[in-house]
Amino acid sequence: MILLREQLMITARRDITPGIFSLRFRDAEMAAQSHPGQFLMIRTSPHPYPLWRRAFSIARVYPETSELEILILKVGKGSQQLGMLGPGDSVNVLGPLGTPFDVESARNRQAILVGGGIGIAPLLFLADRLLPIAQSVHILFGARTAGQLIPMGQLEPYTEIITEDGSAGKTGRVTDFLRPLLLHSTDHPVIYACGPNPMLKQVQFLAETHGIPCQLSLETYMACGMGVCMGCPVPARTPDRPYYYACVDGPVFHADQIQFEE
């Protein structure tokens, strides 16, 4: 069930890097109904501009306090408006929305999580849910430079950091390190990925080359977030329909459903 909270109070704010911060909200019903891969649509300002809500992946759920957390990268108007808020302020929130990751498909298998930039957000919540059921969890977290990384906290022992400029962790792109992992894995891996489309396209290619099940979470620009405006088409590979809609059919898709642009 999709819940609408016209005045959901921010319970905490954490400034993680100069460009990334997190916000927490307390809502027992929303927290209980949220699954990894789902997102919230948030009105970033009480004023008419920007008109549309912005989508934010649910990055963590804290069952002990009934809180949900989102990570926000300051990009444009909406994310900057949220950046001016803190504990005690309220926002209009719709959610949880979208098709989640299939967590069960990693039961007793090796789960490989590939996150690019702010695409790491839904993978944090996913990792929390995978750790008790997967045989192992391996997170590849890539960013252009060290300043775009977030601290992984208790997920650090499971995480391999990769930066394109070599300023932290290993040097290169996450997919450079996914390839050898797939070549040497004997634990029936399952891949989950979220990040920019060029990264997802390469993950899709590697998964298909190695015959490994793979789920991709797309960051397609959305307007309504609930299947009304038809503003989030994703080219489909399946012959029965030309497009999926990212907000209702996704944002999580099986890799073989999606046709990325050439």
Ligand X SMILES: Cc1cc2nc3c(=O)[nH]c(=O)nc-3n(C[C@H](O)[C@H](O)[C@H](O)COP(=O)(O)OP(=O)(O)OC[C@H]3O[C@@H](n4cnc5c(N)ncnc54)[C@H](O)[C@@H]3O)c2cc1C
Q: Which residues contact 212 (CB under 8 A, 6 or more apart)?
A: 182, 189, 190, 191, 206
Q: How far is Cα of residue 64 from the mean position of the Cα atoms in its chain?
A: 22
Q: What x/- string results for residues 11 through 40 when contact with ligand X is judged by CB under 6 A?
A: ----------------------------x-
Among 58, 203, 232, 234, binds ligand FES (CB under 6 A): 232
Residues from 122 through 141 that contact ligand X (CB under 6 A):
none
- φ, ψ of residue 91 in degrees (nearest 5): -135, 160
What six digits make up the tokens of 106? Answer: 């990693």
Q: Which does 223 bind (CB under 5 to 8 A by kind): ligand FES, ligand X, none?
A: ligand FES
Q: Which does 60 bind (CB under 5 to 8 A by kind): ligand FES, ligand X, none?
A: none
DSSP-derived 3-state class of residue 190: strand
Segment (H or E) for 179: helix 174-184
In whole angstroms, give the CA distance from residue 55 to residue 250: 13
- We find the least distance from the C-beta atom of residue 247 to ligand FES, in angstroms, to be 3
In whole angstroms, give the CA distance from residue 74 to residue 79: 5
Among 145, 230, 235, 243, binds ligand FES (CB under 6 A): 230
- Determine if 115 is a binding residue for ligand FES (CB under 6 A): no
Q: What x/- string results for residues 235 through 254 when contact with ligand FES is judged by CB under 6 A?
A: ----------xxx-------
Among 55, 93, 224, 234, binds ligand X (CB under 6 A): 55
Q: Which has the closest alpha carbon to 232: 242, 246, 218, 219?
A: 246
Any bridge partners for residue 137, and if so which? 111
- Determine if 77 is a binding residue for ligand X (CB under 6 A): yes
Q: Which has the closest alpha carbon to 252: 24, 97, 62?
A: 97
**Total residues at the site for ligand X (CB under 6 A)?**
22
In whole angstroms, give the CA distance from residue 171 to residue 176: 9
Among 228, 238, 242, 243, binds ligand FES (CB under 6 A): 228
Q: How far apart are the first and last CA of the chain?
A: 37
What six digits make up the tokens of 118? Answer: 């702010």
In whole angstroms, give the CA distance from residue 230 to residue 98: 14
Q: Which does 54 bind (CB under 5 to 8 A by kind): ligand FES, ligand X, none?
A: ligand X
Q: Which does 71 bind (CB under 5 to 8 A by kind): ligand FES, ligand X, none?
A: ligand X
Among 13, 33, 50, 248, binds ligand X (CB under 6 A): 50
- Determine if 5 is a binding residue for ligand X (CB under 6 A): no
- Determine if 2 is a binding residue for ligand FES (CB under 6 A): no
Only segment of 53-61, 101-109, 123-131, 145-153 that touches ligand X (CB under 6 A): 53-61
In whole angstroms, give the CA distance from residue 116 to residue 174: 7
Give the footprint of ligand X on this chain (CB under 6 A). 39, 50, 54-57, 70-73, 75-79, 118, 121, 219-222, 251
Give the footprint of ligand FES on this chain (CB under 6 A). 222-225, 227-232, 245-247
